[in-house]
Amino acid sequence: MKKGIHPENYRIVIFKDMSNESMFLGRSCAATKDKLKWEDGNEYPLVKLDISSTSHPYYTGKSMLVDTAGRVDKFKKRFAKHAELKKAAPAPKQEESAAE
């Protein structure tokens, strides 16, 4: 490894997958405020993860249903509000800006 570019403050932390509550020990220099007691009785800093190998579809073999239709409907609803505002706003006068 190249000298002087990597942090020196690595320590043992608990990584917790918040989607399925699985935990494992590892080394990290990530800043954390939370601490948690591990199985060995020691207290370690806690790093919360959104997804890990225990919950990722690639590693578990289970596909997750993504609500794309709901997302599209939400987007269309928000976009409709902006489109209505744009229609209600007076159109800029093209003749004045073209003459300048």
Beta bridge partners of 13: 26
What is the reported pLDDT for 27?
Answer: 93
Residues 46 and 24 sit within 8 Å (Cβ to Cβ): no
Three-state SS at 71: helix
What is the reported pLDDT for 78?
Answer: 82
What is the reported pLDDT for 55?
Answer: 74
Confidence of residue 94 (pLDDT cuts 50, 70, 90): low
Residues 85 and 53 sit within 8 Å (Cβ to Cβ): no
Beta bridge partners of 44: 36
Cβ atoms within 10 Å, residue 13: 21
